[in-house]
Amino acid sequence: MRYGSILNEPEKESKSRVSRKSYALDSLAVMPGICILSIDTELAWGMNAADLPRFCKVLDEEPEIIRRLIRLLDTYRIPATWAVVGRLLTAPADRRHGGRTPGRWYHAPDLLEWITGARIRHEIGTHTFGHIYAHDASTTRTVWKRDLEAACRTGRQHGIIVRSIVYPRNQVAYVDTLDDFGIVAYRGVERNWYGNRRGAVHILDRAVGTPAPTYDLNALREGDRLVNLPASQFLLGDNGIRKLIPPSSRIRQARLGLDRAADRGELYHLWFHPFNLGTGDRMFHTLEHVLRDISERRDRGELLVMTMAETADLILEGANGFVPAERRQ
């Protein structure tokens, strides 16, 4: 039985899976850096109705974007954590009974087949069942737990045991409930220099390409059975004003973050939505530059490329911690 993927699925290539066992120690271990890629997979569930008209083209093409992304990850042998909205895996409901239309924007019956059909073994985590916002006043503890129950139940119905979560809109809350559902990892909020303020300062940071933050592995445990794996970099799309930011800025930000992770033995965590890659080639070429950099560092032994659940297991198994950068010789 394997977690976060289809049960009884044949073994697939996963260099990180082999490497992880070498570093899971009960004593201090000198670690290479760790790189995680998480993909918020929600289609239109995360969009307001007013925004749908300007995203209709990318929503129509998102199935092909996802398949193209899977092929690219196969090329560079990069495993990812696909944080999937549970409702994508359910059958469409009749509009008269609350179903949303068009159904192809809200349901993706072939999604799991595409992901598990990849040559690389990916993890399938949750992005909640209904893409609910944990900071919303209507999301009480009862509502939250009911949603996670539905997400995990839907996973089990498809042969998946969910072990990681990405909070919609990065609204982290009710962390103390995650262990009740067997979840060992969540993606925490990016800890950047500008306090995650939106608007001009956020765009300026991405345009300049400041180093993406990385994280000390010894500081990520939250108790005995949960790990916070904060975001390092959102791969900003190129729609609207974002088109003015050159691809080189996104690549620079990733490169500097990867430099820091490799040098210090820390975590670098990249994330995006499939629709952020758009319908053309520009963002795919940008992502390919980053993935090539990651794969080359992995092949030189500077990085482990892991899923969220694998990283959490590694950290939880390294009971006495890892050698910090200043003690590396």
Q: What is the DSSP string of 195-254?
A: TT--THHHHHHHHHTPPPP-B-GGG-B-SSS-EE----EE----SGGGGGS-HHHHHHHH
Domain that holds residue 25: 15-323
Classify burial at 112, counting beta carbons within 10 Å of its beta carbon; exposed 0-12, middle 13-18, buried 19 or more. buried
CA–CA separation, 174 and 40 (whole Å): 19
Residues of the chain with pLDDT under 50: 1-3, 5-10, 15-22, 24-28, 97, 327-329
Backbone angles phi, psi at 136, to 5 degrees: -70, 140
Has residue 66 been placed in a domain?
Answer: yes
The residue count of the chain comes to: 329
CA–CA separation, 252 and 247 (whole Å): 9
For the chain, what is the domain count? 1
pLDDT of residue 246: 93
Backbone angles phi, psi at 93, to 5 degrees: -95, 150
CB of 144 closer than 8 Å to CB of 173: yes
Has residue 271 been placed in a domain?
Answer: yes
CA–CA separation, 172 and 164 (whole Å): 13
- Buried-exposed string 11-47: b where 16+ CB fall within 10 A, e elsewhere: eeebbbbebbeebebeeebebbbbbbbbbbbbbbbbb
Has residue 235 been placed in a domain?
Answer: yes
Has residue 43 been placed in a domain?
Answer: yes
Has residue 6 been placed in a domain?
Answer: no
pLDDT of residue 163: 98
The structure's pTM equals 0.90
Has residue 5 been placed in a domain?
Answer: no
CA–CA separation, 209 and 203 (whole Å): 10
- Name the amino acid, one letter, at 306: M
Has residue 9 been placed in a domain?
Answer: no
Has residue 144 been placed in a domain?
Answer: yes
Residue 146 maps to which CATH number?
3.20.20.370
